[in-house]
Chains A and B, each alone.
Chain A
């Protein structure tokens, strides 16, 4: 489903970051491991269509991501890729349910209210639907990020250190939910991390 080949990126004043070729099949779950500063976040940004690499190509279902015009790329990302960041970013002026709806609206898809509620229920946070982000804990917010990433039934879920700001219990829960929910939704999953707690859950690794 995803194929990266001869990919490399050079930041303005940085050294050259080279990425080994990588192929991810449908519904596969991968860990992206590597020392701090070796380019994990950079690679994830490239795969999710946020950062144009200096060299090489990213193929998702056969489309070369960076040959798409900007508007199409935005739309493609919104519909096919779900992203979860190290720190949960939610719109503070909108409540949890609206934040989920936002994902559909921004991707130009119809809002599926039932699905949003069942996603929240699946993550054990159905009771928070009407709360605002400022009223929630980090763990809760991160679970909402997971729900939001799944709203548009993406083919690929990308998580960049999703557990590093969480305690053991929350980290375990979030990881478990990530893996089960991605499976249930038929998506592939990449988690970048150097968190030992994550390794127990996922077998395939890609080392940088």
Chain B
């Protein structure tokens, strides 16, 4: 028997009110935790995958689209750039490392990336089993690709044209799996890596597909040797201003900075996040109000209980904390429940997400969630402080001499 038991027994006695208040708090905290986790995970993904990449050069178009397609492998590429222009940029004195990318095909939704060894250095890739690709049509697959598509070393498969779906299969050449990468925790887990030559080979001669697949454009693509994008690492940060300007002056290429575009993307998503955030804060405010009203109303009846406890020797401050504790318990339970709901909801969202590149999960925690619990406690304390003050006004003698 202690203050905690008295408070909780009283909460159980007023089940419906207690449950309503807990649910309100849980919803507010739940939404906030989803936002917190999602923003954190998206931010992490963006940052992790863009690490070491100072600039992306690709065909003219939306810079955001260029970043999304060549770093995060989400959107469609903006087009192709001439391989010889890219080669010139790659050997520019300001450039420390340039990684060519040839995109355009997929296998069961996993993008096939034609590149060279600079790619493995950029992402510090290492092999789990087998080898890196060496010859044309050899591939090394990311760990997620291996586990989900059940491809093993020595297996072969056909790539399909486009970045999703397998409608337009390149039947004339089959890729062979040469190696599987160690899990990297970034986008490379979801990629199939090969050399650029393989990607060219796919599009060399396409007797049966040429009928319905823009034959002219494709023929040109091959003849002029094009690539999709170039990931660039500068030698020194000084190049940030000069280099992009130089690239953008060329007729058919543009430069996009991952840092700038991520920031822009975040500011776009940010509007939605803000709205939801205010909605959650609003719900929390309603929860606080509801707890306040229910505690305040309950004081009419509880006056007798509290006067009785005073009579039995409890001090005013002890009873003050008794009432405060009730409010805090409701919000604490609500906050914990809200965190559970938030994590469960995010895990559910993640399992329905199609793009495996930016999958959300509810199984991670972020330190800021502690603040949500503190906020819950604070709201509970704030909402119950005025009802608890009533303790100081109760006249024990008159309350107990009168009938209920």
B13 adjacent to A160 (CB under 8 Å): no
CA of A106 to CA of B315, assembled, Å? 8
Decide if B2 is an interface residue (CB 8 Å cutoff): yes
Which chain A residue has the least Cβ–Cβ distance from B304? A89
**Closest chain B CB from A54 CB (angstroms):** 14
Known: A78-B313, A107-B313. A160 touches B401 (CB 8 A): yes
CB < 8 Å neighbour of A78 from B2, B5, B314: B314
B311 on the A face (CB < 8 A): yes
Query: Is there contact, CB below 8 Å, between B1 and A98?
Result: yes
- Shortest CB-to-CB span from A115 to chain B, Å, is 14
Among candidates B309, B314, B397, residue contacting A51 with C-beta atoms closer than 8 Å? B397
Tell me the chain B residues, 303-319 only, with Cβ under 8 Å from chain A.
304-305, 307-318
A74-B6 in contact given A50-B397, A101-B1 (Cβ < 8 Å)? no
**Which residues of chain A from 2 to 25 have any CB-CB distance to chain B below 8 Å in the complex?**
none
CA distance A50 to B313 in the complex (A): 10
Q: Is the CB of B400 within 8 A of A108?
A: no
Q: Which residues of B from 382 to 404 have beta carbons under 8 Å from A?
A: 396-397, 400-401, 403-404
B239 at the binding interface (Cβ < 8 Å) = no
Bound CA–CA A103/B318 (angstroms):
14
The answer to whether A87 and B396 touch across the interface, beta carbons within 8 angstroms, is no
When A and B form their complex, which 6 residue pairs have the shortest distance between CB atoms, in order from nearest?
A78-B313, A107-B313, A93-B13, A106-B312, A101-B1, A106-B314
Pairwise interchain contact B311-A102, C-beta atoms closer than 8 A: no
Q: Which residues of B contact A98 (CB under 8 A)?
A: 1, 5, 9
9 extra interchain contacts, Cβ-Cβ under 8 A, other than A77-B313, A89-B400? A71-B315, A76-B313, A89-B308, A92-B305, A94-B6, A98-B9, A102-B309, A108-B313, A160-B401
Contact B313 A45 (CB under 8 A): no
Instruction: State how many angstroms separate the Cβ of B15 from the closest Cβ of chain A.
Output: 11
* A105 B400 Cβ-Cβ under 8 A: no
B9: A residues at CB distance < 8 A: 93-94, 98
Interface string of A140-162 (1 = CB under 8 A from B): 00000000100010000000100
B397 contacts A45, CB within 8 Å?
yes
How long is the Cα–Cα vector from A38 to B400 in the complex, in angstroms? Answer: 18
Residue of B nearest to A52 (CB): B397
Chain B residues lying within 8 Å of A102, measured Cβ to Cβ, are 1, 6, 309, 312
Q: Which residues of A come within 8 Å of B, CB atoms?
A: 41, 45, 48, 50-51, 70-71, 74-79, 83, 85-87, 89-94, 98, 101-108, 111, 148, 152, 160
What are 12 A-B interface contacts by the 8 Å CB criterion? Answer: A45-B401, A76-B313, A83-B311, A86-B401, A93-B10, A94-B6, A102-B1, A102-B312, A103-B312, A104-B1, A105-B1, A107-B312
Most buried by A among B312, B317, B404: B312
Contacts of B396 in A (CB 8 A): 50
B contact residues around A51 at 8 Å (CB): 397
The reply to whether the CB of B12 lies closer than 8 angstroms to some CB of chain A is: yes
CB of B400 within 8 A of CB of A85, answer yes
A91 and B311 within 8 A (CB): no
Q: Is the CB of A91 within 8 A of B308?
A: yes
Q: Kindly list chain B residues whose C-beta atoms are within 8 Å of the C-beta of A70.
A: 315-316
- B315: which of A74, A85, A87 is its contact (CB, 8 Å)? A74
- Residue with the highest number of chain A CB atoms closer than 10 Å, among B1, B305, B313, B397: B313
A5–B312 alpha-carbon span in the complex (Å):
25
> Smallest CB-CB separation from B306: which chain A residue?
A91
Q: Which residues from chain B contact A106 at a C-beta distance below 8 Å?
A: 309, 312-314, 318
| A105–B2 touching, CB < 8 Å | yes
Q: Chain A residue with minimal CB distance to B317?
A: A71
| A85: B residues at CB distance < 8 A | 400-401
- Which A residues are CB-close (under 8 A) to B309? 91, 102, 106
Min distance, Cβ B130 to any Cβ of chain A, angstroms: 68
Question: Which B residues are CB-close (under 8 A) to A148?
Answer: 312
Contacts of B10 in A (CB 8 A): 93
Q: Is the CB of A74 within 8 A of B403?
A: no
Residue from the list B316, B397, B404 in contact with A87, Cβ < 8 A: B404
Residues of A within 8 A of B403 (CB): 87
Rounded to whole Å, the gap between the CB of B69 and the closest CB of chain A is: 63
Q: A106 to B12, alpha carbons, bound, how many Å? A: 21
CB-CB nearest in chain A for B316: A70
Contacts of B307 in A (CB 8 A): 89
Contact partner of B313 (CB less than 8 A), chosen from A74, A92, A93, is: A74
On chain A, the residues within 8 Å of B397 by CB distance are 45, 50-51
Question: How many angstroms between the C-alpha atoms of A93 and B308 in the bound complex?
Answer: 14
List chain A residues, Cβ under 8 A from B318.
106
Query: Which chain B residues lie closer than 8 Å to A48 at the CB level?
Result: 311
* Contact yes or no, A77 B315, CB < 8 A: no
A101 to B308, CA, bound (A): 13
Considering the complex, give the chain A residue whose CB is closest to the CB of B404. Answer: A87
Chain B residue numbers with a CB within 8 Å of A41 are: 401
Q: Is the CB of A74 within 8 A of B310?
A: yes
Q: Which of A50, A79, A152 contacts B311 (CB 8 A)?
A: A50
Residue of A nearest to B11 (CB): A93
Measured CA separation A107–B309 after assembly (Å): 9
B314→A91 contact, CB < 8 A? no
| A74-B314 in contact given A93-B9, A93-B12, A102-B1 (Cβ < 8 Å) | yes
Chain B residues whose C-beta falls within 8 Å of the C-beta of A83 in the assembled complex: 311
Complex Cα gap A50–B365 (Å): 53
Q: Which residue of B lies closest to A41 (CB)?
A: B401
Q: In the complex the two chains form, what is the Cα distance from A98 to B12 in whole Å?
A: 15
Chain A residue with the shortest CB-CB distance to B301: A92
- Give bound CA distance, A91 to B303, whole Å: 11
| Proximity string of chain B (317-345) to chain A, C-beta cutoff 8 Å, 1 when within and 0 when not | 11000000000000000000000000000
